[in-house]
Amino acid sequence: MEFDELQKIWHSQTNEPLWVINEKALYKRILVKKAKASHITNFSELLVLIVYAGAGSLIAGLNYVKPKPNLMLYLMAAWMFATALYVLVSRIRRIKGSHAFDRSMLGELNYAVSMATYQVRFSQLMRWNIIPVGILSLWGVWRVDQSVWLVLGIVMVFILGYAGGGWEHRIYIAKKRELEALQRKLMIGL
Amino acid sequence: MSEIEQNRIFDTWLGQYKALLFKVVRAYAATAMDQDDLFQEIVIQVWHSIPTFRQQSSSSTWIYRIALNTALKWVGKERKHAAAQESLDSIPAILQETKVQVDERLTWLYEAIYQLDEIDRSITLLLLDGFSYKEMATIVGISESNVGVRINRIKKQLITKAKQQDHYGI
């Protein structure tokens, strides 16, 4: 069989589609999908922003009204505001950057890779950020309350948070590698 | 653009290009469940893309581009992730097979295309549908010479497979 013949076989289906569309089911699914449209990156960015800005305000406010304010808690609040600000700036830059890709397959793949790179970096930074926040929290608690159990409890929470962050980070790395493999296949033409 | 206008264009495109969408779905997804899932992904992307369509290319080129790109990204983990994430069991299937007698050579051709790697599958569909090298290069985002190299290789592969099948009487 030569290629022209393959093409003839191929065109035979154009006038007689092999499937019909259940339009009712299709519209229902689109509505379900639209409801789930908030992308994971958007969600995690907004969540981190709200949590850090909210926790920073709460810590600073509570510390301020205390008779003897704790310097460590002010430092922690400042660190949290700085993190929230960093996330906000990154988010704005990410959204602006998303318009720089064309609508070809390679352009879309490049965009997907850049999003995956952003997610990898973001999850890594948020994971590392647990360390200074944990140290400042422990320091603040240690100065106020000498209970060893409370300190141990806080240490456990931060260790679990760090481990959970690692798990999330590995998911993003795997996704990024997969996209990069596709990108390489498209670019090298082998 | 209003949602009514967007829905109107969507309905027109869906009616006009469903054969094109079926081809892409069949080339990239093997099981009925996966075909349904991929078809859903593609039409959602097409629906989303309507406000950004600037008529710089024909609507068929635009839809092919979206369909192939969605299929490419859908292959692999995305598909498993999406399937696990959504509990759509209560919603009936989108694609229903017609009673058309299918040419077995066409079934063979789809199998042969499915065996190509995911990038070559896109180029094969465009090639079989008669797109020029220039159009293919624009849709895929690679150079025309790269398209040419890939097409030579794909043609050789398909013809070799077809000749092997000829021995078995297909």
**pLDDT at residue number A83:** 92
Instruction: Indicate the pTM of the whole model.
Output: 0.70
User: Touching check for A68 and chain B: CB below 8 Å?
Assistant: no
Arithmetic mean of pLDDT, B111-136: 92
Domain(s) labelled CATH 1.10.1740.10 in chain B stretch across: 1-94
Continuous H helices in chain B: 3-28, 32-49, 59-74, 77-85, 104-114, 118-128, 133-140, 144-167
pLDDT band at A97 (very low <50, low <70, confident <90, very high): confident
Find the CB nearest B72 among A2, A22, A182: A182
What class has domain B97-169? mainly alpha
Q: List the 116-135 stretch of A: residues with Cβ below 8 A of B.
A: none
Token representation of residue B67: 């369909």
Residue type, A144: V
The range of the structural domain enclosing residue A143 comes to: 28-189
What residues form DSSP beta bridges with A177? none
Number of residues that this document lists for chain B: 170
Q: What is the pLDDT of residues A5-15, one digit of tens each?
A: 888 888 877 66
Q: Quote the CA–CA distance of B77 and A110 in Å, as a whole number.
A: 18
Contact A61, A70 (CB under 8 A): no
| Residue A154: Cβ-neighbour burial (10 angstroms; 0-12, 13-18, 19+) | middle
Residue at A122 is within a domain: yes
Q: Quote the CA–CA distance of B10 and B12 in Å, as a whole number.
A: 5
Find the CB nearest A103 among B65, B105, B146: B65
Q: Quote the CA–CA distance of A149 and B47 in Å, as a whole number.
A: 56
Token representation of residue B117: 């790697």
Q: Quote the CA–CA distance of A99 and A97 in Å, as a whole number.
A: 5
Q: Quote the CA–CA distance of B143 and A105 in Å, as a whole number.
A: 12
Q: What is the pLDDT of residues B57-102, one digit of tens each?
A: 788 899 999 999 999 888 865 555 554 445 445 556 777 777 777 7
| Residue B98: Cβ-neighbour burial (10 angstroms; 0-12, 13-18, 19+) | exposed
Contact A21, B18 (CB under 8 A): yes
Q: Which tops the pLDDT comparison, A108 or A46?
A: A46
Domain(s) labelled CATH 1.10.10.10 in chain B stretch across: 97-169
Contact A127, A165 (CB under 8 A): yes
Residue A51 to chain B, least CA–CA distance (Å):
25
Architecture of domain B1-94: Orthogonal Bundle (1.10)
- Count the domains in chain A: 1
**What is the b/e burial string over A116-126, where b = at least 16 CB atoms within 10 angstroms of the residue's CB?**
bebbbebbbbb
**pLDDT at residue number A34:** 62
Q: What is the pLDDT of residues A135-173, one digit of tens each?
A: 888 887 777 666 788 888 888 988 998 999 999 899 889
CA distances from B113 to A24, A121, A189, B139 (A): 31, 37, 17, 19
Asked if the Cβ–Cβ distance from B43 to A26 is below 8 Å, we say yes
Contacts of A103 in chain B (CB under 8 A): 52, 62, 65-66
Q: Residue holding tokens 């460590």?
A: A72
Residue at A11 is within a domain: no
Residue at A9 is within a domain: no
Q: What is the mean pLDDT of chain B?
A: 83
Asked if the model's pLDDT at residue B8 lies above 70, the reply is yes
> Which of A20-29, A44-53, A80-89, B52-61 has the weakest average pLDDT?
A20-29
Residue B99 to chain A, least CA–CA distance (Å):
8
Element (H, E) at A175: helix A148-188
Asked if the Cβ–Cβ distance from A1 to B95 is below 8 Å, we say no
Token representation of residue B99: 């009673």
Q: Quote the CA–CA distance of A49 and A124 in Å, as a whole number.
A: 16
